Amino acid sequence: MAQTVAAFKVDYFQFLKPDGKLVEDQQVPALARDYDRLVELYKLMVLTRTFDKKAVALQRTGKLGTYASCLGHEAAHISIGAAMREEDCFAPMYREYGAQFYRGVKMSEVLMYWGGDERGNDFSGPKHDFAWCVPIATQCLHAAGAALAYKLRGEERVAVSVVGDGGSSKGDFLEAINAGSAWKLPLVLVIVNNQWAISVPRDKQNTAATLAQKGIAGGLPSIQVDGNDMIACLWAMEKAINAARAGKGAFVIEMMTYRLSDHTTADDARRYRPNEEVEEAWEKEPVKRLKAYLIDQGAWSEEREAELLEECSKWVQQAADEYIDQVENNPQGVTAMFDYMFAELPHDLEEQRAYAEQFPEDGGHH
Amino acid sequence: MAQTVAAFKVDYFQFLKPDGKLVEDQQVPALARDYDRLVELYKLMVLTRTFDKKAVALQRTGKLGTYASCLGHEAAHISIGAAMREEDCFAPMYREYGAQFYRGVKMSEVLMYWGGDERGNDFSGPKHDFAWCVPIATQCLHAAGAALAYKLRGEERVAVSVVGDGGSSKGDFLEAINAGSAWKLPLVLVIVNNQWAISVPRDKQNTAATLAQKGIAGGLPSIQVDGNDMIACLWAMEKAINAARAGKGAFVIEMMTYRLSDHTTADDARRYRPNEEVEEAWEKEPVKRLKAYLIDQGAWSEEREAELLEECSKWVQQAADEYIDQVENNPQGVTAMFDYMFAELPHDLEEQRAYAEQFPEDGGHH
Amino acid sequence: MAQITLIEGVTMALARAMEEDPSVVVLGEDVGVNGGVFRATAGLHQRFGDNRVIDTPLAEVMIAGTTVGMATQGMKPVAEAQFCGFTMPMIDHIMCHAGRMRNRTRGRLSCPMVLRFPSGGGIHAPEHHSESPEALFAHMPGLRVVIPSSPSRAYGLLLAAIRDPDPVIFMEPKRIYRWQKEEVVDDGEELPLDVCYTLRDGNDLTLVTWGAMVKETMQAADQLESQGVSVEVIDVATISPLDMDTIIESVERTGRCVIVQEAPKHCGVASEIAAGLADAGIWHLHAPVKRVCGYDAIMPLYRNEMKYMPSAKRIVHAAQQVLEVS
Amino acid sequence: MAQITLIEGVTMALARAMEEDPSVVVLGEDVGVNGGVFRATAGLHQRFGDNRVIDTPLAEVMIAGTTVGMATQGMKPVAEAQFCGFTMPMIDHIMCHAGRMRNRTRGRLSCPMVLRFPSGGGIHAPEHHSESPEALFAHMPGLRVVIPSSPSRAYGLLLAAIRDPDPVIFMEPKRIYRWQKEEVVDDGEELPLDVCYTLRDGNDLTLVTWGAMVKETMQAADQLESQGVSVEVIDVATISPLDMDTIIESVERTGRCVIVQEAPKHCGVASEIAAGLADAGIWHLHAPVKRVCGYDAIMPLYRNEMKYMPSAKRIVHAAQQVLEVS
Ligand SMILES: Cc1ncc(C[n+]2csc(CCOP(=O)(O)OP(=O)(O)O)c2C)c(N)n1
Ligand SMILES: Cc1ncc(C[n+]2csc(CCOP(=O)(O)OP(=O)(O)O)c2C)c(N)n1
Ligand SMILES: [Mg+2]
Ligand SMILES: [Mg+2]
């Protein structure tokens, strides 16, 4: 007897085409007509991009450490922030500033972090959100743990985590899917597939048709969306978060986008990827697309764009100034490295702290 | 646009029903008529079960350490050994004696291992096979590495690994699927789903319909078979191994069986699982089933059965005697723990070895 | 008042902590209905139910990672690793997150969790069931590492570990889980997480140890006493932070020290203690500091495992070496 | 003959080993076309192709596990972990399998692999890019742990590590990847994996260190010399097995020793060396053995990272303490 015991599929959703027109052949979500909301999101996209440019510039002029650009990921990232509630929990990887800005993290705090100052992690966003997470994919399990905590306490809160196409190969992500399945957790796992993991292309991560299908391992609903289409991204995020909040368990979304920048400022992508690919990707990028749509719908204009750009520049400059002021005029002392190790300093660290105070300027700033 | 970008299914295969009759509604593989082969396999099943009983008895009488029984897994395990070639590589977990016996590992060597003597791992089976692996699921990645080695060298060899329903939750297994996918490895991953991971039932590992579908995460062909049906198990194993050897990449098989024994001799399953479940499972067990079929087909008889049982008892007793003789009359000395640490003993261990020789009987045998 | 074993002290502390704080949850493989493979969580599932005593899928990285996640969100998870060898996949989350969460966020998030597991050899168990990895955890900043060696210390130290606002690695010497019984009152009194315990006073020699090695060390002390040597025995109990003061104070009186550990010698905790003596304790030393340790080899399968571990005989041998020096 | 940097010594050794032995393969994240994030594998993919230089999926457990698997089947894999912090998920396979394969199978299987990775801080990198985990690996039986501190030692020790029939952890001090240039002949000559290197002879004080700390230690030695102190500097180079003989022989002459390590102090390698002196070296010591180490805290983000690490000033300070003792 051969009998099909389980069947699955992965659907791909796109509502807004690269040219800024809606797809014709099907219903688009109501969201597509909520111009006020879309304009708000658009503004944050532009701010995020302005910020990103500034951050790279600060790095190039020696005022910031290694920085991971979010260029091209704006729709994906901001949709995540926009779909969440304050009390939900975000467990980012490292470049989802758009999501974090939406949740209240300040631009100067992002700069502090990449500027080598831990205070950037004590941010103005929700106090229960996780900090940036360098060990790839580990954040997915922290989100699963948060989701478990909410579920055990009967709270209607959802945990959301992001992983890259590269990170989706890691056991942590795969175990998070399994945890989400085993415990039916209020957990949304987003794969932001930007086609590259530093120099390693998507195809080398595995030969499966999609990354979304990793969710099938846990029997989770798993979909793919155009990650440069704000409408599709936000629609998918809301669908997933609503389901999770309603107790229906975890959800996997793969957002198809592209890393338009180098991996970080320490990377030179020209070493490993063809320029044509990047140029092609620029045709599909999310900001231009939403702008075209909004202008088309009469919800946006070039005049407002010009104003917005000016404002964004101003805010970003303010953030940069704030950051520089903090790290230069109010730097952390040598003792800061001891003071947050434990709630109460153990005797051995007390001794080391006292010793370190004898060498306050030691080593200095490189 | 919503568009299905990938679709999958998991099929379940059973050819020999619990009552020993072939399923009627479809073609059964030619294998089902190869009575000579099936009789050979049946004999090994009976030998394995006789061995298993003896091992438990040795443990109960203090002559063996903790032992993991294979009771009920005989079809699954032996099919794995039977489908492989000598030059293929087997990476077992810990209870697949049937597979190992087929590959030439001696019963006395299995006893040596569980009898607390490393020499059991230097077994008579293929020299390149892996040893028993206690850290769950890590063996799957060793098999992936072996498969990669064969592929890189252009050898037509396949690596086969086994994991349990419990172990299938572990990142190592999931990363092995991904490795098999990324590198299109000659790798067969078998999930022997015996419904329990010590006291944790299958349903607590996750809520997915099957465990086989974990292979879909890597886009691997993934099927489920009745793990108590030797014909289905061997058919599936041969299909998977042939595909892998032909360069078609990795394969996942979930064999549905049942752990009829305690987890190990250190466990008492009555604490956590209902007796009725075990009784029901006995109705489906693999040895009785194949015997009924073979007798039905005129390929086996009660007389031959009686002879076989007698022979098996004799061989097993010989193995036990050999084992006891080795560990009692030719035990490893205190220096054995140093002599295989490195190809050449480093100076620090040379010193420690000399020191240990001063305390040869120290600690003794508990 | 009950005479209880070390493992019963563990169970008693778990029950107490769960009773007094609803945010305490226990999770791990087989900790539920089965009550743990050593019975450390016996009865807890029945008493506290599915939401407080959680059988996890078989995935150590997941256990560690979700424990960290829960701990940051107001829970006090107590995770069990089934055996010492299976903590290795957990190290990433323990080292990179548990020990860093508070510092990373300048105190915004914290990680009040306990990872407890049976450790050490000598119970006839298979491979990977007999490691003593305390030195690994002790080298990682941001963690407390605690090893009880008696029923009352198991109770008091585990209570303190669970209540502690920071992550604690709690290693249970499984070989002595049922060695000794002691009267322990379930009074919720915790013990401090930063001091050594002097188990026996003496003037000629200081023996320092922890965990199951307390057994052999006390035997060695008895043998030495019968030879007229006055032996002080210190149970380190908390490996991080290490209470060197108590040890140095003892060596100040005895002038001689032997450190006993079951783990491999190279870069072990015994070396840290010896190094402390070579620094702050040097002027008190009348003899070399000897370490009696597991070998820098793999703990053998059970037939030879006792040959690997320090025996009373090896401890006495080392003691005699340092006592010979005049 | 070329003047090359430490990292070029690494690349040269890799190329040489791949040239002379077809079973040597290099694998890791971004080691292929990109040539590694530090360029350690630059040019190798172009030269040896896809089957010898393998870009892996982003999965450290998988890298470690498949490396172990390959090594048992006649290959000599050289795996790269991109940064020190990302070796933590690899520890399970390294500790439980790489270091045990030969012993477990009584020599039937072996595991001739190298795990190499950049380690240590000081290059302005993000979190988890600056750890010095040598003590963790050094505590695990069955492994060699090697850290070069010059271009020629990088070349000679890595060649030896790759040819060695057993697993070697090869840690590359990234802060000094491009610090010094040295003439290195690509002659295939390896260096022994079990000896310390004396970088400078002296009679008053022994400074012991390894890896990038060689830089600050040599600076401190210069400063001390200018104050009239004759300083011996030893580069440990191989942490496991540790060559205590060279160190003790030096302390026999100087009577004073300061050990410098970048890693946290507690249960670090410096403690092992101090413990060795407290035992076999005790009669030569004229002063306490001081350790100048990283703090038992988390390496700060880059603005303060240099405050974490031992500086020449801190080393001189400790040296003066031990020199004061008469
Ligand atoms: C466990 C771990 N391994 C390696 C790295 C180094 N690393 C940082 S980012 C990166 C690539 C990540 O790619 P992807 O997951 O696709 O995310 P993206 O950067 O493209 O957003 C790597 C390998 C890391 N941070 N953590
Ligand atoms: C990494 C790891 N964690 C825990 C254990 C302890 N342990 C041994 S067997 C087992 C259950 C395994 O269940 P399953 O994978 O279903 O295999 P089965 O024993 O049923 O064949 C556990 C938890 C282990 N050996 N390795
Ligand atoms: Mg990516
Ligand atoms: Mg099972």
Identify the pLDDT of residue A48.
Answer: 98
Give the integer Cα–Cα distance in Å for B261 and B200: 15
Residue B361 pLDDT greater than 80, yes or no: no
Q: Residue B206's closest chain C neighbor by CA? A: C57
Strands (E), C58-126: 76-80, 114-119
Identify the pLDDT of residue A366.
Answer: 46
List pLDDT tens digits, range A90-132.
Answer: 999 999 999 999 999 999 999 999 999 999 999 999 999 999 9
Interface touch A134/D127, C-beta < 8 Å? yes
Helical (H) or strand (E) element with A78: helix A74-83
How would you write chain D as a 3-class SS string?
Answer: CCEECHHHHHHHHHHHHHHHCCCEEEEECCCCCCCCCCCCCCCHHHHHCCCCEEECCCCHHHHHHHHHHHHHCCCEEEEECCCHHHHHHHHHHHHHHHCCHHHHCCCCCCCCCEEEEEECCCCCCCCCCCCCCHHHHHCCCCCEEECCCCHHHHHHHHHHHHHCCCCEEEEEEHHHCCCCCEECCCCCCCCCCCCCEEEECCCCEEEEECCCHHHHHHHHHHHHHHCCCCEEEEECCEEECCCHHHHHHHHHHHCCEEEEEEEECCCCHHHHHHHHHHHCCHHHCCCCCEEEEECCCCCCCHHHHHHHCCCHHHHHHHHHHHHHCC
Strands (E), chain C: 3-4, 24-28, 53-55, 76-80, 114-119, 144-146, 168-173, 182-183, 197-200, 205-209, 231-235, 238-240, 257-264, 290-294
Within chain A, what is the greatest distance between any pair of CA atoms? 78
Give the integer Cα–Cα distance in Å for A161 and A138: 10
Residue B25 pLDDT greater than 80, yes or no: no
3-class secondary-structure state, position C3: strand
Identify the pLDDT of residue D1.
Answer: 65
Q: What are the residues whose beta carbons fall under 8 Å from the beta carbon of D243, sequence distance 6 or more?
A: B347, D194, D195, D196, D236
CATH architecture under which domain C2-184 falls: 3-Layer(aba) Sandwich (3.40)
D34, D301, D306: residue with CB nearest A272: D34
The complex's ipTM works out to 0.98
Interface touch B336/C300, C-beta < 8 Å? yes
Identify the pLDDT of residue B1.
Answer: 60
Give the integer Cα–Cα distance in Å for A124 and B145: 46
Confidence label for A26 from pLDDT (cuts 50, 70 and 90): confident
Query: Which residues is B142 bridged to in the sheet?
Result: none
Give the integer Cα–Cα distance in Å for B359 and C307: 8
Q: Looking at the CA of B199, name the nearest ligand.
A: 2
Average pLDDT, chain B: 97
Identical fold for domains C2-184 and C197-324, yes or no, is yes
Ligand 3 centre from A135 Cα, in Å? 14
| Residue B134 at interface with chain A, using a CB cutoff of 8 Å | no
Our measurement of the distance from residue A212's CA atom to the centroid of its chain's CA atoms, rounded to an integer in Å, reads 17
What's the burial of B25, exposed, middle or buried (CB within 10 Å: 0-12/13-18/19+)? exposed
User: Which residues in chain B touch residue A3, judged by CB atoms under 8 angstroms apart?
Assistant: 11-12
| Residue D147 at interface with chain C, using a CB cutoff of 8 Å | no
User: Which residues in chain D touch residue B346, judged by CB atoms under 8 angstroms apart?
Assistant: 144, 194, 240-241
Identify the pLDDT of residue A363.
Answer: 64
Identify the pLDDT of residue A1.
Answer: 60
Identify the pLDDT of residue B366.
Answer: 46
Dihedral angle computed from the Cα positions of residues A132, A224, B184 and D62, in that order, rounded to the nearest 10 degrees: 20
Q: What are the residues whose beta carbons fall under 8 Å from the beta carbon of B236, sequence distance 6 or more?
A: B13, B79, B223, B225, B253, B255
Minimal Cα–Cα distance from B189 to chain D, Å? 14
Query: For every one of its 326 residues, what pLDDT tens digit does chain D have, with 9 covering 90 and above?
Result: 689 999 999 999 999 999 999 999 999 999 999 999 999 999 999 999 999 999 999 999 999 999 999 999 999 999 999 999 999 999 999 999 999 999 999 999 999 999 999 999 999 999 999 999 999 999 999 999 999 999 999 999 999 999 999 999 999 999 999 999 999 999 999 999 999 999 999 999 999 999 999 999 999 999 999 999 999 999 999 999 999 999 999 999 999 999 999 999 999 999 999 999 999 999 999 999 999 999 999 999 999 999 999 999 999 999 999 999 87
User: Which residues in chain D touch residue A115, judged by CB atoms under 8 angstroms apart?
Assistant: 303
Identify the pLDDT of residue A360.
Answer: 86
CB C61 within 8 A of CB C100: no
Query: For every one of its 326 residues, what pLDDT tens digit does chain C have, with 9 covering 90 and above?
Result: 689 999 999 999 999 999 999 999 999 999 999 999 999 999 999 999 999 999 999 999 999 999 999 999 999 999 999 999 999 999 999 999 999 999 999 999 999 999 999 999 999 999 999 999 999 999 999 999 999 999 999 999 999 999 999 999 999 999 999 999 999 999 999 999 999 999 999 999 999 999 999 999 999 999 999 999 999 999 999 999 999 999 999 999 999 999 999 999 999 999 999 999 999 999 999 999 999 999 999 999 999 999 999 999 999 999 999 999 87
**Which residue has tokens 């915790």?**
C190
Confidence label for A361 from pLDDT (cuts 50, 70 and 90): confident
List pLDDT tens digits, range B92-139.
Answer: 999 999 999 999 999 999 999 999 999 999 999 999 999 999 999 999
Average pLDDT, chain D: 97
Q: What are the residues whose beta carbons fall under 8 Å from the beta carbon of A30, sequence distance 6 or more?
A: none
**Per CATH, domain C197-324 is 3.40.50.920:** yes
A123, A128, A141: residue with CB nearest C61: A141
Residue A25 pLDDT greater than 80, yes or no: no
From the candidates D124, D129, D284, D286, which is the catalytic residue?
D129
Token pair of D130 as six digits: 């600056």
Helical (H) or strand (E) element with B98: helix B97-102
Identify the pLDDT of residue D47.
Answer: 98
Give the integer Cα–Cα distance in Å for B290 and B292: 5
Q: Which residue ranges have their beta carbon within 6 Å of ligand 1? A: A 95, 134-136, 164-167, 194, 196-198, 259, 263; D 29, 58, 60, 82, 86
Identify the pLDDT of residue D2.
Answer: 80
Give the mean pLDDT of A231-235.
Answer: 98
Segments making up each domain of chain C, as ranges: 2-184, 197-324
| Cβ of B165 below 6 Å from ligand 2 | yes
For CA atoms A55, A58, A60, A63, the dihedral sign is negative
Atom of ligand 2 nearest to the CA of B193: 16
Residue A365 pLDDT greater than 50, yes or no: no
Interface touch B65/C124, C-beta < 8 Å? yes
A138, A341, A347: residue with CB nearest C102: A341
Identify the pLDDT of residue A151.
Answer: 98
